[in-house]
A and B are shown apart, each in its own frame.
Chain A
Amino acid sequence: MGGEVVSGGIGRSVRRPDGPDKVSGAFPYAGDLRVPGMLQARTLRSPHPRARIGRIDTAAARRLPGVAAVVTAADVPGVATYGLIVADQPVFAATEVRYAGEPVAAVAAVDAATARRALAAIEVDYEPLRPSTDPERVLAADAEPLHPAGNLFREIDIRHGEPGVDGPVVVEDHYVVGMQDQAFLAPEAALVSPAADGGVDLRVATQWLHSDREQLAACLGIPENLVRLTLAGVGGAFGGREDVTVQIHGALLARAAGAPVRIAYDRVESFLGHPHRHPARMWFRHTATADGELVSVQARLVMDGGAYASSSPAVLANAVTHAAGPYRVPHARLHGVVVRTNNPPCGAMRGFGVPQVTIGHEAQMDRLADALGLDPVELRARNAVRPGDVLPTGQVLGAPLPARELIQLVAARPLPPPPAADVTGLARPGGLPAAAEPGRVRRGVGYALAYKNLLFSEGMDDSSAARVRLDLTDDGTPRVRVHSACAEVGQGFVTIAGQIARTELGVEQVDLAPADTAVGSAGSTSASRQTWMSGGAVRGACVAVADRLLARVARAAGLPAEVVEAPRRTLRIAAGEIVGVEAGLRVRLADALAEGPIEADYTFHHRRTTALGADGQGDPHVAFAGAAHRAVVDVDIDLGLVRVVSMALAQDCGTVLNPLSLRGQVEGGTAQGLGLALMEELVTVDGVVTNPNFHDYLLPTIADVPDLDFVAVTEPQPDAPYGVKGVGEAPTCTAAPAIVAAIRAAVGRDLRRVPVRPQDLVDLPTRADVHTAGDASTA
C-alpha cells in the first residue's frame, strides 16, 4: 500500500530502535534487571560426566543464614523432565547424572556469595560410573543404555536413485567437525517473581517465549495461563537459548522462597548450561563422470547429541537431507544417526546441522575437482541444482535457488592484492606479535557453495501470531501498535516490524509492545524464520486493520456495498490520508480514526510440508536459501598460523527489506563460520569441557574478520511476505568450508578436521624423534 510515501518503510536501511542504547551501554539485558528484595540464585552442577547419585543432603545449606530456598529433583511438583522435542532431560538429576555440568540442585540466597557458600554446603554422594563418550560406540549391541529411552535419538536413511551406480571418478574420505558453542555475549539470565494468583512472572532472555511457557507449566504443575513470560534484553542467541536453562530453576526457587529471584549465569556456567553445536564424524563418497557430472553421493553421519535429546532429531534431519549439498545428484544414499553419549548435550545452533555436512561435501567437491583436473568453481557450477530438480528426499526444489549464479558471481569478485613481502602488524598471520615470517607465508583461495532450509521442516506448522492496533495518540496523531511474541535476539525484528507497519498503514509512528505471552506464539527465533513468519503475521494484521479502516471510510462516505466489501480496489492509504481517486474521496487518517481505534489479529502459516517417510522420502522443507563464499587466506607454513585476508559472499536473499540489517546478518554469519573454521571449539576430555571461558574458547575479534565483499541476489520468494528469504544462516554454512578450502590450497594438504588447528598444518616432531635427537646431541 502507501509504501512509497511514508519514510522508514520496507527496503530502507532503517536503524535499529535499540541501537543507540546498545552501543552506549544503556540497553538493559536480562542480567541487568534488579528489583527490591530480589534473591540471587546459583546452580549446583555435577563435576562427573556420569555418576549414580546416592543421596543429596541439603540440610546444612538450608540452615545457612541468608539462604532462602534450596531445590532439588524432589521439589519439582510437575513433570520431572523437560525438552524441546521429547521431555527426556531431568529438571534436576535425581538418581543419575549423565553429563558434566548437569544441574543437581539450585539455591536462592540474599546475595551471590551466600548462594555460593550454600552450594558448597550441599552434600551429594556421587558414585562415578564410566562415561560413554565415543559416539561411534554407543550403538554397539553390547553398549549400555545411558538413559531409559536408549542411546539412539534418531536414524535417517535416504535412498535416492538406484543403489550401486557409480561414476568412474571416485573420492572418498572421513571428516570431523568439533563442538562449536553459540558463545553469545550476554549469559543466560532471568528475573522470576511469584505472583499472588499462584502463578509466576518471568522476564527472561530466550528465543521462544511460548515454548518456555509450555515446559515451565508442565514442570511446575500449573496451568499455562499462570505462567507469564516477558522477553528481557537478549544479548545474542544463535540457537543457544532455544532450550530451557534458567527458567524452571528460577521459577521453582521463586515459588519456594516466595520472593523474586534473579538467576544469571557467569561465563563458565553459560558454557556448561546450554546445548552446543553437534560434533560430527562424517564419511563421504562422491563419484562423477570423467567430464565432471556427479553420479552418486554416499554419506554416513554420526552426530553426537550428548546426554539429552534437545533438538537432536531435527538437527539430524537437516544434516542428512542437506548432505549432498546444492548439487544435482542422480543417485544417493545418505545415512545418519544422532546418538546419546555422556558428552554435553548438543542442540540448535545457527545453521542447524547444515554447517557440519557442508564441511564434508565441499571438501569432497574440491577433491573431485582435483581428481578431474577441473576448476573448483567450474565443477560446482556444472553440478549446481536448479529449481525443478528432484532432491535426494524426492522434494522438488522450488524457485528461486540461483546456486550456479551464486558461485559464479562470487568467483568474479576482484581478488585482493598478493601478500606484500614487507607486511607488518595485523596483516601477518598471527598479528602484531609478528611471529610469522613473510617469506614463509603462502596464499590460498577457496570456495564453498551451500543451501540451507528456511523455517521449520517436516510437517511442523510453526505459525506466528501478531496483533496490530491503529489509534490516535493524545495529540491526535495516528499511531500503530504492534504486539508480537517474536523474540528479538539481535536479528532485527524490532526494526522490520516497524518498517512493515509503516509500509502497510502509511503511519510513521509505530510502537512495538513488549514481546510476551499475552499474545499468541510467534514461534522460535531460529531457522531463519522470523522476518518471513512474524513479518508475515505483522503484515497480515496490518492488512486486516487497513481493510477495516477503508471499509469504515467507504461506509461513512456512502460508497456502494461492493466497495465496502472490497474497499482496497477503490481506496488506498497514502501519506496519512485515505484516498479514493475515482470516488473523489480524501479523508485524513486522523479523522477516520476519530470514531475509534481498529485492531486485528493475524496468524501466518507457511506452506505445509511432510515428514520424512520410508527411505527418507518426502517434502520436508518449506524453502531454501543459497550462499557462496570465496575465502582468501595467508598461512605461515612453518607455524600453521592462518590469517583470513578477504571474504566475498554472494547470497540468495529474496527481497531485501532492510539492506543495513541484511549486512549485519551476513557479516555475523560469516564471522561465526570463520570461528568454526579456525578457532571455536569446546574441547572435552572424557566428557568434561576443558575450556569453558574466553581465554581458551577463542572467538574471532575484529582483527580476525576482514571486510566482507557482499553481493545480494534478490529474486523474490513466492509465498513469503514481500518475497523475503531468511538470511542469517546460509552464510554461516559456507564461510567455514570456504576458509578450509583456501587453507588447503595454501598448504597443499587435505584437511579433515574443523576447526583447523595450527598443528594440523605442519609436520610435527614425535616424542620419539625429539627424544632420540636430544639423546644424540647430549651424547
Chain B
Amino acid sequence: MMAGGKSSAMFRPRTVGEAVEMLAAAHESGTAVALLGGGTDLVPALRSGERSAETVVALRRVLELRVRGAGADSLTIGAGVTYTDLDGWSLSPGLARAARVVGSVQIRNTGTVGGALGSARPGGDLLTFLTAADAEVLTVSPRGPERMPLPRFLADGLAPDALVTAVRLARPGGPQVYLKIGGRQAAYPAVVSCAVLVDRVRHRLTCAIGGVGLLPVRMGEAERYARDEVDWSTGTVSSSAARRFGDLVVEAAARVSPALPAGPRGSAEYRWHAAGVLAGRAFARCLHLTAPPVGEPARGSAAGGQP
C-alpha cells in the first residue's frame, strides 16, 4: 500500500458494521490495525515508520460516517465529515469557523472529524472547539455502540477494536468564537487556541484553551466568573470584566498540569499570556461590552518601551 510496507493490507468497508467486523477480526488475530480517515496524520506516520500497521481499514467509503445532521437541540457530525464539509455550515457557525482555519485547503478537503479525535493533537483546532462545546463522542465496537463525554474519550483512549462514528454537541445558544495563533499568516498548526461559546438560554459561557496542556483545557474559574458577571437579560458585560476574564485564563493556563512540554514554538510564558489575550478578545467579541473597548487584557504596558 501507500506506506511501502509490503505486508500491509488495505480494507475498504462500506458500512460501520463491516468496519467493526474487520477491526474485530484483526484484533483477534493479533494483527496491528489502523483506521484510515483522510490519512493526513496517518499516512505521514506510516511513511516515516513512526507507526506501522499490517492492516489498514479505510473509512472513506462508509457513507453513513459522512453525514452531519441536526436534531431538536443537538448536532451530530459523522466521523467521516471533512473540515471542508464543516466550513460554512450555518447550523454551527463556531465550528465552521474553527474548521475554516485548519491547515491548508488540501488538508481541509481530506482531514476528518474522526481523524482529529483519533490523533488528538494538543493544538488540534476541532478538539479545542469541541472541548468548549461539551461534545460527546459516539463509538462502536463488537460490544455495541457507546456514547461518552469527550474528556472521558480522550482520557481512556479508544479500544483497539472500536471506531468513532460521530461527535454530538448542543445546537448553538448564542455567539461562538474560535481564535488561534501560530507563527504565520495561514496554514499553521495552532500554538495557542481559544474557543468561547455563549449560551444565552442557559446563561452559560464556556471557554477552552489549546496549546498549554497535553489536551485542550476548560477554564472553569473564568467560566464561573463570566456566569456571574454577565447581565444575561441583555448579554452585556463591563469591559473591565473582559480584562479580568483574560487574567483568570492566564492564571489557569499557568497552572495546567501536566503542562505541554516546552516546544520549539512559543515559550510557556508566552502561551499563558496569549491564552489570556485570546480569551479576553473572544469574550469581548461574544458579548456586548458596556464601555468602549479601551484596551485589551494585556499585561504590562502595551506601548512597550525598553525591555
Contacts and interface: CB of A to CB of B under 8 A. Distances in A.
Chain B associates with chain A: yes
Interface of A: 111-113, 116, 266, 268, 426, 430-435, 437, 439-440, 637-641, 643, 678-679, 681, 683, 690-691, 695-698, 700-701, 703-704, 747-750, 757-759, 761-767, 769-771, 773-774, 777-778
Given A701-B187, A704-B185, A749 B307 contact: yes
Interface in B175-189: 178-189
A113 B295 CA distance: 56
Contacts of A767: 254, 269
B202 interface: no
Q: Which 7 A-B pairs have the closest CB atoms?
A: A763-B300, A759-B270, A703-B186, A683-B264, A431-B185, A770-B254, A691-B264
A433 B101 contact: yes
A111 B185 contact: no
Given A433-B101, A679-B183, A774-B251, A439 B293 contact: yes
Nearest to A692: B264
Contacts of B283: none
Interface string B1-20: 00111100000000000000
B185 A426 contact: yes
Nearest to A746: B304
23 contacts: A111-B4, A111-B6, A113-B3, A113-B4, A116-B49, A268-B48, A433-B179, A435-B281, A638-B302, A639-B278, A640-B270, A691-B264, A698-B183, A701-B186, A703-B185, A704-B186, A748-B305, A759-B266, A762-B270, A765-B299, A767-B269, A774-B251, A777-B248
Contacts of A700: 184
B250 interface: yes
B179 A704 contact: no
B267 interface: yes
Given A432-B100, A703-B184, A767-B269, A690 B305 contact: no
A690 B261 CA distance: 12
Contacts of B305: 748-749
A773 B247 contact: yes
B251 A777 contact: yes
A759 B185 contact: no
Contacts of B5: 113
Contacts of B254: 765, 767, 770-771, 774
Contacts of B51: none
Given A690-B263, A765-B269, A638 B181 contact: no
Contacts of B298: 440, 637-638, 762-763
B269 A690 contact: no
A87 B183 CA distance: 39
A268 B255 CA distance: 33
Contacts of A778: 221
A691 B265 contact: yes
Contacts of A641: 181
B4 A766 contact: no
B187 A763 contact: no
Interface string B82-120: 000000000000000000110000000000000000000
B29 interface: no
B185 A430 contact: yes
B199 interface: no
Q: Which of B185, B270, B293 has the most chain A CB atoms closer than 10 A to its own CB?
A: B185
Contacts of A431: 184-186
B61 interface: no
Contact of A637 (B269, B293, B304): B304
Contacts of B47: 266
Contacts of A701: 184-187
Contacts of B299: 762-765, 769
B301 interface: yes
A764 B181 contact: no
Contacts of B269: 759, 764-767
Contact of B4 (A112, A683, A703, A774): A112
A430 B304 contact: no
B134 interface: no
B2 to A, nearest CB: 12
Nearest to A773: B251
A759 B265 CA distance: 10
B264 A696 contact: yes
B287 interface: no
A40 B307 CA distance: 53
A113 B273 contact: no
A365 to B, nearest CB: 19
A331 to B, nearest CB: 29
A748 B307 CA distance: 10
B210 to A, nearest CB: 12
Contacts of A758: 181, 183, 266, 270, 274
Contacts of A679: 183-184
A778 B250 CA distance: 14
Interface in B229-281: 247-248, 250-252, 254-255, 263-267, 269-270, 272-274, 277-278, 281
B272 A770 contact: yes
A266 B48 contact: yes
A434 B304 contact: no
Contacts of A116: 49
B301 A763 contact: yes
A66 to B, nearest CB: 9
Nearest to A766: B269
Q: Which of B189, B264, B267, B295 has the most chain A CB atoms closer than 10 A to its own CB?
A: B264
A467 B179 CA distance: 60
A268 B48 CA distance: 9
B8 to A, nearest CB: 9
Given A698-B184, A758-B181, A432 B101 contact: yes
A153 to B, nearest CB: 27
A637 B302 contact: yes
Given A112-B4, A758-B270, A770-B254, 4 more contacts: A641-B181, A750-B307, A774-B252, A777-B248
Contacts of A439: 293
B31 to A, nearest CB: 16
Contacts of A770: 250-251, 254-255, 272
A690 B267 CA distance: 14
Nearest to B7: A113
B270 A433 contact: no
Contact of B255 (A697, A703, A774): A774
Nearest to B277: A638
A639 B302 contact: no
A639 B296 CA distance: 10
A748 B302 CA distance: 10
B179 A434 contact: yes
A703 B263 CA distance: 24
A716 to B, nearest CB: 39
A433 B48 contact: no
Contacts of A690: 263-264
Contact of A433 (B180, B274, B300, B307): B180
Contacts of B72: none
A39 to B, nearest CB: 14
Contacts of A426: 185-186
B270 A750 contact: no
A697 B189 CA distance: 11
Contacts of A640: 270
A703 B187 contact: yes
A758 B304 CA distance: 13
A695 B181 CA distance: 14
Nearest to B282: A435
B248 A698 contact: no
A690 B305 CA distance: 32
B267 A759 contact: yes
A299 B6 CA distance: 58
Contacts of A759: 266-267, 269-270, 273
Nearest to A750: B306
Contacts of B185: 426, 430-431, 643, 701, 703-704
Nearest to A696: B264
Interface in B129-146: none
Contacts of B272: 765, 770
